[in-house]
Amino acid sequence: MLPLPALVAWLLGAVLLAADEANAASDRWFVARLGTEAAMHPMLSLHVVSSPIPEGGGRSTVLEWTIALRRPLQGREWRIEMRRRQEEREDATGRLQSLRIEQDVDQVRTVATAAVQGERVLAEVARHGVRSARELVVPSGLTLLGTLAFQQRLAALAERSPPTAEAPWRTALLELVGGELVVAEQRASFRGIAEDGGLGYDIASDLVPTPTALVVSRRGELMRMDLRLGWLRFELRPASGPVALFGAAIDAASMVAGAGPAPRGAERERYRLPEGLRVPDDAFQTQVGDIVEVRSEARAEPLAESAPWLSRTAFLEIDDPELVAWVQDALTGRSSAEERLEALVAAVRGRITTRDLSVADGSALDAFRTRTGDCTEHANLLCAALRIAGIPARREIGLIRPPGAAHWVGHAWVSAWVDGRWRHADAAHPGVPRSCYIALVAADPQSASSTGGALLAALDRLMGREIATVTDQVLP
Each residue's pLDDT tens digit, 414-434: 999 999 999 999 999 988 999
* Residue 451, pLDDT above cutoff 60: yes
- Phi and psi (nearest 5°) for 156? -65, -40
In CATH, the number for domain 256-469 is 3.10.620.30
3-state SS assignment for residue 204:
strand
**Given pLDDT bands bounded at 50, 70 and 90, which one contains residue 2?**
very low
**Given pLDDT bands bounded at 50, 70 and 90, which one contains residue 165?**
low
**Given pLDDT bands bounded at 50, 70 and 90, which one contains residue 145?**
very high
Report how far residue 385's alpha carbon sits from residue 364's, in angstroms, rounded to the nearest whole number: 8
Report how far residue 41's alpha carbon sits from residue 49's, in angstroms, rounded to the nearest whole number: 25
Write out pLDDT tens, residues 88-123: 999 999 999 999 999 998 788 999 999 999 999 999
Report how far residue 376's alpha carbon sits from residue 431's, in angstroms, rounded to the nearest whole number: 17
Candidates 321, 338, 332; CA nearest to 417 is 338
**Given pLDDT bands bounded at 50, 70 and 90, which one contains residue 23?**
low
At 1 the pLDDT is 46
Q: What percent of the chain has pLDDT over 70?
A: 88
Determine how β-strand 256-259 pairs with β-strand 248-249. unpaired
Q: Could you tell me which residues are beta bridge partners of residue 225?
A: 214, 236
Candidates 475, 232, 283; CA nearest to 396 is 283
Q: 437 near 400, Cβ under 8 Å?
A: yes
Higher confidence at residue 93 or residue 80? 93
Residue range(s) in the chain whose domain bears CATH number 3.10.620.30: 256-469
Averaged pLDDT of the chain: 86
| Segment 265-291 mean pLDDT | 93
List C-alpha distances in Å: 151 to 97, 171, 327.
17, 11, 49
Burial track 282-309 (b if 16+ CB lie within 10 A, e otherwise)? bbbbbbeebbbbbbbbbeeeeeeeeeeb
DSSP class of 454: H
Count of CB atoms within 10 A of residue 321's CB?
7
Write out pLDDT tens, residues 454-464: 777 777 778 77
* Residue 47, pLDDT above cutoff 90: yes
Write out pLDDT tens, residues 173-209: 998 888 889 998 999 999 888 889 999 999 988 887 7
List C-alpha distances in Å: 82 to 12, 105, 240, 287, 359.
11, 5, 22, 37, 10
Burial of 470 (0-12, 13-18, 19+ CB in 10 A): middle
